[in-house]
Amino acid sequence: MNSPLLHRHHLMNTAHRPAQIFIRGEGAWLYDAEGRRYLDWMQGWAVNALGHAPAPVAAALAAQAGTLLTASPALHNAPALELAARLCQLSDFDQVFFASSGAEANEGAIKLARKWGRLHRAGAHQIITFGRAFHGRTLAAMAASGKPGWDALFPPGMPGFARAEFNNLESVERLIGPRTVAVMLEPVQGEAGVIPADAEFMRGLRQLCDQRGLLLIVDEVQTGCGRTGPLFAYQHYGIRPDIMTLGKGLGGGVPISALLATDRVSCFEPGDQGGTYCGNPLVCAAALAVLETLTAPAFLETAWRHGELLADGLRSLSREFALGEVRGSGMLWALELGRNTAPLIAAAAMDAGLLLNAPHPHCLRFMPPLNSSAAEIETGLSLLAEALAHYA
């Protein structure tokens, strides 16, 4: 039989992909067409909160697929109504808009802040974002991001953003002007290499936004839905943001994202925002199943304990191989290597049967499923040790 790889030239060349074709996933494990299995600590870049093909999501999708796939975003459907209510109940927000990707949710957050500025702040529209931030790949989300080199990629860039330094409150204060409407940040900068916002910085931002009449937007596309420990990472800090975006883990592998806002800020009117697939019942049913699992008794506590096991293991590997800092919380961690060996180590790990992400040449990122067992964490750590031994 001809390998489907023969067709790869028909795919646009947007990523360096290894030669394996992955055909099946089960929990923490991913299987290739040759029957080889890999412990997957990428999980679609922190998408599969419950691992591959989780039974509650599969069941919810099957039931919903046989009932109603899509009606119209201009008609009510029960899963979207229930999901919106559940998200509000579990968070500090009052209203939700559903979309399909993280970038799209952030696009909505930017529009909402701009509209609020038009209505309440005399047309203020500028949003302060941060160096090394990642908010997605639409043009507005790219302009909001601080990924080095992105400014020059698809000129002209979208105006309306100013860039401050992460964890530096003064750098934010300096940028605030009459046109500033909001500050937008990831509570933990994931793509930058798992850099958490300091508690003092986050609380200072909330205070500053209150004093200067600005909105605080948290992009929890990566950190939300239990990834860093609590259901939402802003809950680490004891603050209440005005706007939050979710994606990735929310659908447990199914493309759904959400924009949440407090009543004070939620000012969209019919026609302001929409999309063909926004809030369709199929993806909302999947997200409801994910939330039900994440909020089951002891689920997040167990994930936290197993995340600590992972962190302890990473710290001891760091000592053994004379590597650098271990950063993160919950099931989102990074290991600094102190040298540019991350791509080599990720390749060696794949050979050993462990899928890892190297967001930077000097840093590895770990995103196991939240329901990883202690035994799976131990297995991953010993496969990682094998890979590290090659490049110590």
Angle, nearest 10°, between helix axes 299-320 and 374-390?
20
With 0-12 / 13-18 / 19 or more C-beta atoms within 10 angstroms meaning exposed / middle / buried, residue 268 is: middle
For Cα atoms 380, 381, 382, give the angle at the middle one, nearest 5 degrees. 95
- The CB density around residue 176, as the number of other CB atoms within 10 Å, is 19
Give least dist CB 131 to ligand PLP, A: 14
CA distances from 149 to 146, 152, 153, 157, 228 (A): 9, 6, 7, 12, 28
Distance of CA 115 to the CA centre of its chain: 25
Task: Determine if residue 161 is labeled as part of a ligand binding site.
Answer: no
Q: How far is the CB of 255 from ligand PLP (least distance, A)?
A: 8
Residue with tokens 């500028």: 126
Q: Between 54 and 102, name the residue whose CB sits nearer to ligand PLP.
A: 102
* Per-residue contact flags (x/-) with ligand PLP for residues 315 to 354, judged by CB under 6 A: ----------------------------------------
Q: Examine residue 40 and tell whether it contacts ligand PLP (CB under 6 A).
A: no
Of 221, 254, 311, 356, the one binding ligand PLP (CB under 6 A) is 221
Does 151 count as an annotated binding residue?
no
- Give the per-residue contact string, 135-174, with ligand PLP (x = CB under 6 A; - = no): xx--------------------------------------
How far apart CA 207 and CA 213 sit, in angstroms, is 10
- Is 321 marked active-site? no
Runs of H (alpha helix) within 78-121? 78-90, 102-120
Among 102, 196, 226, 229, binds ligand PLP (CB under 6 A): 102
# residues contacting ligand PLP (CB under 6 A): 15
Catalytic hit among 93, 115, 219, 232: 219
Least distance to ligand PLP, CB of residue 105, Å:
8
Q: Which stretch binds ligand PLP (CB under 6 A): 4-12, 55-63, 113-121, 128-136?
A: 128-136
Pick one of 222, 280, 293, 329: the residue that binds ligand PLP (CB under 6 A). 222
Task: Give CA separation, 228 vs 189, 366, 389, in Å.
Answer: 12, 12, 29
Question: Of the residues 134, 166, 232, 366, which is catalytic?
Answer: 134
Q: Is 222 annotated for ligand binding?
A: yes
* From 191, 242, 336, 376, residue interacting with ligand PLP (rule: CB under 6 A): 191
Q: Catalytic: 248?
A: yes
Quote the CA–CA distance of 333 and 328 in Å, as a whole number.
Answer: 4
Q: Does 186 bind ligand PLP (CB under 6 A)?
A: yes
Q: Do you find a cis peptide bond into 255, omega within 30 degrees of 0? A: no
Rounded Cα distance, 258 and 277, in Å: 12
328 close to 236: Cβ distance less than 8 angstroms:
no
Interface residues toward ligand PLP, by CB under 6 A: 45, 101-103, 106, 134-136, 186, 190-191, 219, 221-222, 247
Catalytic residues: 134, 219, 248
